[in-house]
């Protein structure tokens, strides 16, 4: 197991009460989702349409060619054109066809009254703007009435001569001696529906107009107006809920996960599985320091006579790095995994926990993710070089500067030369920081590393 697993155990051990509450809430939520998704989904109220009706109408127009002309053959019927030629087809036919639709049965009396209306409209100078009718004349043409079922229409047709309508309008304006505003000639149909739809009384009315405009031998017919909106009758009904697949599947899954988690939590709590053994705590601290101070460490082989003198042990790698900062030296890591720093005549050493010991005492395999401390065999390979171009002395004391110099033997003073090499090749903190502590950026890095572990555990 790696350091992240140790951190997870530590967090669970420190927050076992919170974890238990979260798992209980998960079981409760999953139980409720399971109950409402499978046992009792519940009901809700919906408004459903039980009846509806809607008035309808259509307005069409056409003109039959009655006068010889070079464009249209005689007796040709032109329908729903945007414009008609007064000389070729002066007479037009207009059709109004109101009706209604309903969900079920209906019995509605439909009345259509058709009239020719001439009126003068002027702009309103008031603050609201708009327009108003200055005068109006009306000539009733016909009235039709019928009982209609849903989907039926009452068709009312009227035939008029467009040029004669325009001549009558001009004559009326001349009799008035002129008039302000705009004068319109319209064919107006007043529609009224009254009866019952699905056993419910209904009544409505509206006006449809067909405006006739004549100019330069052409007349245009423009329908104006729309029927009113209909009505819908609704009824409230209680219907069962339809649980979503997420609730039906997620509820049981949440219960299983929550109960399994609670079981593991209780068993682990009784077995002290979440409490880190001292050797595991030391291992976790070592891994954090090794990751943080990796730039301060140099892997190399050191003279065996180095540790024959005074050797002081440090409790943690961070303490050794602090001492290296004060001494202006680098931290050396031997192939055995020990970390060394010489400060004066004393060699300070930190020995990390043995992985096998951690695995045996902690009960977990920590070999996965261990930092590599092995140095390849340097026999026949190029050894690390000093800053001045020379080789670091090996256990035999041979520096390698002179291949023929095989008589050189190990000397304790070689460490002084190695210390000078290390001191000259490693960047040290600012000289003003001589209080034996790391600078603020490294301390912040240490804090950030610990926070990153907690964030990793929370995201997990």
pLDDT at 1 over 80: no
Which residue has 């004559």 as its token pair?
A: 171
Q: Which residue has the higher pLDDT, 14 or 172?
A: 172
**pLDDT of 434 strictly over 50:** no
Burial of 177 (0-12, 13-18, 19+ CB in 10 A): exposed
Least confident of 120-129, 219-228, 290-299, 311-320: 120-129
Q: What is the 3-state secondary structure (H, E, C) of the chain?
A: CCHHHHHHHHHHHHCHHHHHHHHHHHHHHHHHHHHHHHHCCCEEEEEEEEEEEEEEEEEEEEEECCCCCCCCCCCCEEECCCCEECCCCCEEEEEEEEEEEECCCEEEEEEEEEEEEEEEEEECCCCCCCEEEEEEEEEEEEEEEEEECCCCECCEEEEEEHHHHHHHHHHHHHHCCCCCCEEEEEEEEEEEEEEEECCEEEEEEEEEEEEEEEECCEEEEEEECCCCCCEEEEEEEEEECCCCHHHHHHHHHHHHHHHHHHHHHHHHHHCCCCCCCHHHHHHHHHHHHHHHCHHHEEECCCCHHHHHCCEEECCCHHHHHHHHHHHCCCEEECCCCCEEEEECCEEEEECCCCHHHHHHHHCCCCCCCCCCCCCCCCCCCCCCECCCCCECCCCCCCCCCCCCCCCCCCCCCHHHHHHHHHHHHCCCCCCCCCCCCCCHHHHHHHHHHHHHHHHHHHHC
Task: For CA atoms 392, 393, 398, 399, give the dihedral sign.
Answer: positive
Cα–Cα dist 330/295, whole Å: 9
% pLDDT > 70, the chain: 71
Please give the pLDDT value at position 364. 45
Cβ-based neighbour number of residue 297 at 10 Å: 20
In this predicted structure, what is the pLDDT of residue 419? 38
The predicted structure's pLDDT at residue 191 = 97
Mean pLDDT of the chain: 76
Output 167 or 299, whichever has higher pLDDT: 167
Choose the most confident range, by mean pLDDT, from 9-18, 155-164, 231-240. Answer: 155-164
The pLDDT of residue 369:
40
**pLDDT one-digit tens code per residue, 226-268:** 999 999 888 888 888 887 888 788 888 988 998 888 887 777 7
Residue predicted with more confidence, 277 or 344: 344
Q: Using one digit for the tens of pLDDT, what is the confidence trace for 362-391?
A: 544 433 443 333 334 434 444 443 333 344
Residue 358: pLDDT band (50, 70, 90) is low
């Amino acid at each position: 197991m790696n350091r992240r697993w140790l951190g997870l155990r530590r967090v669970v051990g420190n927050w076992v009460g919170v974890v238990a509450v979260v798992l209980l809430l998960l079981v409760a939520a999953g139980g409720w989702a399971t109950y409402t998704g499978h046992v009792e989904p519940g009901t809700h109220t919906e408004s459903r349409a039980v009846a509806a009706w809607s008035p309808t109408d259509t307005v069409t127009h056409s003109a039959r060619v009655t006068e010889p002309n070079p464009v249209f053959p005689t007796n040709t019927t032109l329908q729903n054109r945007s414009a008609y030629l007064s000389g070729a087809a002066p007479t037009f036919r207009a059709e109004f066809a109101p009706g209604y639709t309903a969900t079920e049965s209906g019995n509605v009396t439909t009345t259509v009254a058709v009239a020719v209306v001439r009126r003068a409209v002027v702009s309103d100078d008031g603050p609201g703007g708009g327009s108003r009718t200055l005068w109006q004349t009306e000539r009733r043409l016909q009235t039709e009435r019928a009982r209609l079922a849903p989907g039926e229409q009452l068709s009312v047709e009227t035939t008029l001569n467009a040029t004669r309508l325009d001549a009558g309008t001009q004559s009326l304006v001349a009799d008035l001696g002129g008039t302000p505003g705009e004068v319109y000639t319209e064919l107006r149909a007043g529609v009224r529906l009254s009866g019952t739809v699905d056993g419910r009384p209904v009544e409505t009315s509206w006006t449809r107009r067909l405006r006739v405009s004549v100019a330069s031998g052409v007349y245009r017919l423009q329908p104006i107006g729309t029927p009113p909106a209909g009505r819908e009758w609704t009824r409230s009904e209680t219907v069962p809920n339809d649980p979503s697949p997420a609730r039906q599947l997620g509820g049981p899954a949440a219960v299983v996960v929550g109960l399994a988690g609670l079981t593991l939590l209780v068993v682990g709590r009784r077995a002290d599985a979440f409490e880190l053994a001292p050797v595991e705590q030391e291992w976790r601290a070592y891994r954090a320091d090794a990751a943080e101070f990796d730039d301060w460490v140099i892997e190399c082989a050191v003279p065996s006579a180095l540790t024959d003198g005074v050797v002081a042990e440090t409790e943690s790698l961070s303490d050794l790095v602090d001492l290296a900062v004060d001494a202006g030296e680098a931290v050396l890591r031997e192939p055995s995994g020990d970390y060394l720093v010489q400060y004066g005549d004393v060699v300070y050493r930190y020995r990390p926990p043995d992985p096998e010991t951690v695995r045996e005492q902690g009960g977990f395999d920590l070999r996965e993710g261990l930092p590599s401390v092995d140095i390849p065999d340097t026999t026949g390979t190029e050894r690390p070089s000093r800053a001045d171009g020379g080789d670091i002395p090996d256990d035999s004391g041979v520096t390698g500067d002179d291949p023929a110099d095989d008589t050189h033997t190990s000397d304790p003073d070689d460490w002084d030369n190695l210390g000078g090499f290390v001191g000259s090749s490693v960047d040290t903190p600012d000289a003003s920081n001589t209080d034996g502590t790391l600078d603020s950026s490294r301390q912040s890095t240490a804090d950030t590393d610990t926070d990153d572990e907690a964030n990793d555990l929370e995201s997990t």
